[in-house]
Amino acid sequence: MQRVLIIATDGFEQSELMKPRELLIEAGAEVTIASLKPGEIKGWDQKDWGESVPVDLTIDKVSSENYDALLLPGGQMNPDILRTEHKVIEVIREFDAARKPIAAICHAPWLLVEAMLVEGRTVTSWPSIRTDLANAGAAVVDEEVVVDGNLITSRKPDDIPAFTDALMAALNMEAAEQSA
């Protein structure tokens, strides 16, 4: 069984956490949500607060050795808060050093910039952070999903199917059969 860690905090883009988590679980993965505080974190659903999800463990208890991949949902608030947290950046760097897949969608590639992982890499993101990625040395493209080594990036919620498929492919997983 593949183990996927999701790091998020209040203000995560609801669809970018919920849908990949659902697809990964359906495909047989064990998915863990880590955050800055215990309890629950609240999503952002387009123009207002959305649903809450339970936090499985706090970031200070995370060991990258216990997981096969890292998923970073976007939203404006979520990665902006997380990129100022040393332990979050440290965990992202640990996944990269181990060459484990790191999947970041929408605004989440900001975290890859903060972890200094994008220089010389090809990535995509939400349009408003593309200049930040380019300034950090990335080659930025406008595609639904980009895989460069262990980095998997996507632009927006519409890209979630391709984004999740790319992560599952990196983990040698097959999507669960969809019932008609």
Catalytic residue numbers?
A: 106-107
The DSSP secondary structure of the chain, one letter per residue, reads --EEEEE--TTEEHHHHHHHHHHHHHTT-EEEEEESSSSEEEEEETTEEEEEEE-SEEGGG--GGG-SEEEE---SHHHHHHTT-HHHHHHHHHHHHTT--EEEETTTHHHHHHTT--TT-EE---GGGHHHHHHTT-EE---SEEEETTEEEE-SGGGHHHHHHHHHHHTT--PPPPP-
